[in-house]
């Protein structure tokens, strides 16, 4: 597992929440207050595009939280109505961007699209948080081939120089959202080892030691420790619990305690 850099990464995905800038500012400030004593964990909050500019100055003031977006377009500029480029995101204060989230893949995004987005993010100086995950598990372990294809196709053409900048979020689709159950730490550990092996074969063992592989899917303050201790998670991609400052900061507190 990743030994070189112990520091954990916790990425909050606010999705299409909250519904007003005022509420977004309030939520962000409350999160910033609740994480103000933490020193070691990389804390990132991925906001709706519209809130990035306003919250940039708040995040700079509080210093603890980096901003991220939830998607990016693959072209850098031009006639692409409704799209937002990596340079635009970087300019407005984003340092990270989620790419290939299952909710976007469900709307038709292919591995090829995600691959172009990963490369666009890197070109713009953003850290891509690449989401991979199967919709179901089968007895023949076909889901492993599915994940392998996702990892290989989504990282196609990414050079060795940049691969350690990519964060891989393993998010089984069956574990995401209301009413779903998280994977077990053991299920995550299996996938963590499997993804690291795919990456080592492609990019070499040395580089891959630095890559963060994080878990997402119904993460909360109760299951965080298990994923770290038994799953060797380098951190988390957190949906619902990232909208609750108390739960989100508890998750980070557990990460801090694990990075001795
Ligand atoms: C997500 O959609 O990225 C996610 C992890 O959601 P939740 O934590 O709500 O399951």
**What CATH number is associated with residue 118?**
3.20.20.70
* 3-class secondary structure, 70: coil
**Residue 171 in contact with ligand 1 by CB distance below 6 A:** yes
Q: 10 and 43 in contact (C-beta within 8 Å)? A: yes
46-55, 61-70, 238-247: which range is least confident on average? 61-70
CA distance 78 to 192: 38
Whole-number mean pLDDT of the chain? Answer: 95
Model pTM score: 0.96
The catalytically annotated residue of 23, 75, 83, 101 is 101
Percent above pLDDT 90 for the chain:
91
125 marked as part of a ligand binding site: no
The string of DSSP codes covering 153-181 is HHTTT--HHHHTTPEEEE--GGGSSTT--
Q: Is residue 3 part of a domain?
A: no
Q: Is the pLDDT of residue 24 over 60?
A: yes
Residue 188 lies in a domain: yes
Phi, psi dihedral angles at 165 (to 5 degrees): -85, -15
Please check the confidence at residue 154 and state whether its pLDDT lies above 80. yes
pLDDT at position 6, please? 57
Instruction: Give the residue-averaged pLDDT of 214-227.
Output: 97
pLDDT of 259 reads 76
In this prediction, residue 4 has a pLDDT band, given cuts at 50, 70 and 90, of: very low
Residue 250 inside a domain? The answer is yes
Peptide linkage before 18 cis (omega within 30 of 0):
yes
221 is catalytic: no
- Whether residue 253 is contained in a domain is answered as yes
101 included as an active-site residue: yes
User: Alpha-carbon distance 96 to 47, whole Å?
Assistant: 10
Q: Per this entry, what is the length of the chain?
A: 260
Band of the pLDDT at 87, cuts 50, 70, 90? very high
Residue 218 labelled as part of a binding site: yes
Task: Name the burial class of residue 133, with classes exposed (0-12), middle (13-18) and buried (19+) by CB atoms within 10 angstroms of its CB.
Answer: buried
Sign of the CA dihedral 122, 127, 204, 170? negative
141 assigned to some structural domain: yes
pLDDT-derived band at 60 (thresholds 50, 70, 90) equals confident
Interval 97-142: pLDDT, tens: 999 999 999 999 999 999 999 999 999 999 999 999 999 999 999 9
Indicate whether 218 pLDDT > 50: yes
| Domain assignment present for 135 | yes
User: Structural domain tally of the chain?
Assistant: 1
In a domain, 221, yes or no: yes
172 lines ligand 1 (CB under 6 A): no
Domain of residue 168 covers 8-258
Residue 176 CB–ligand 1 contact under 6 Å: yes
Pick the residue whose CA is nearest to atom 6 on ligand 1: 239
* Residue 117 located in a structural domain: yes
Surface-to-core class of residue 221, CB atoms within 10 Å of its CB (0-12 exposed, 13-18 middle, 19+ buried): middle
Cβ-in-10-Å burial (0-12, 13-18, 19+) of 30 comes to middle
**What pLDDT does residue 55 have?**
95
pLDDT exceeds 90 at position 2: no
Confidence of residue 260 (pLDDT cuts 50, 70, 90): low
Averaged pLDDT, 163-185 = 95
């Amino acid at each position: 597992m990743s030994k070189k850099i112990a520091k954990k990464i916790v990425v909050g995905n606010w999705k299409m929440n909250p519904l007003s800038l005022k509420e977004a500012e309030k939520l962000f400030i409350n999160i910033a207050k609740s994480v103000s004593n933490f020193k070691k964990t990389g804390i990132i909050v991925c906001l709706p595009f519209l809130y990035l500019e306003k919250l940039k100055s708040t995040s700079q003031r509080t210093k603890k939280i980096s901003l991220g977006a939830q998607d990016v377009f693959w072209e850098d500029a031009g006639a692409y109505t409704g799209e937002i480029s990596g340079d635009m995101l970087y300019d407005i204060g984003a340092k990270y961007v989620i790419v290939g989230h299952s909710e976007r893949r469900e709307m038709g995004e292919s591995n090829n699209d995600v691959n172009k987005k990963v490369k666009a993010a890197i070109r713009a100086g953003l850290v891509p948080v690449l989401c991979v995950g199967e919709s179901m598990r089968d007895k023949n372990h076909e889901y492993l081939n599915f994940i392998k294809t996702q990892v290989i196709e989504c990282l196609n053409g990414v050079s060795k120089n940049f691969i350690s900048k990519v964060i891989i979020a393993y998010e089984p689709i069956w574990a995401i959202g209301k009413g779903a159950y998280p994977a077990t730490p053991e299920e995550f550990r299996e996938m963590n080892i499997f993804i690291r092996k795919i990456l080592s074969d492609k990019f070499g063992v040395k580089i891959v030691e630095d890559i963060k592989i994080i878990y997402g899917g119904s993460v909360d303050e109760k299951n965080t420790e298990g994923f770290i201790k038994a799953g060797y998670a380098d951190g988390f991609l957190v949906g619902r619990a990232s909208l609750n400052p108390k739960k989100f900061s508890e998750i980070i507190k557990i990460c801090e305690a694990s990075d001795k």
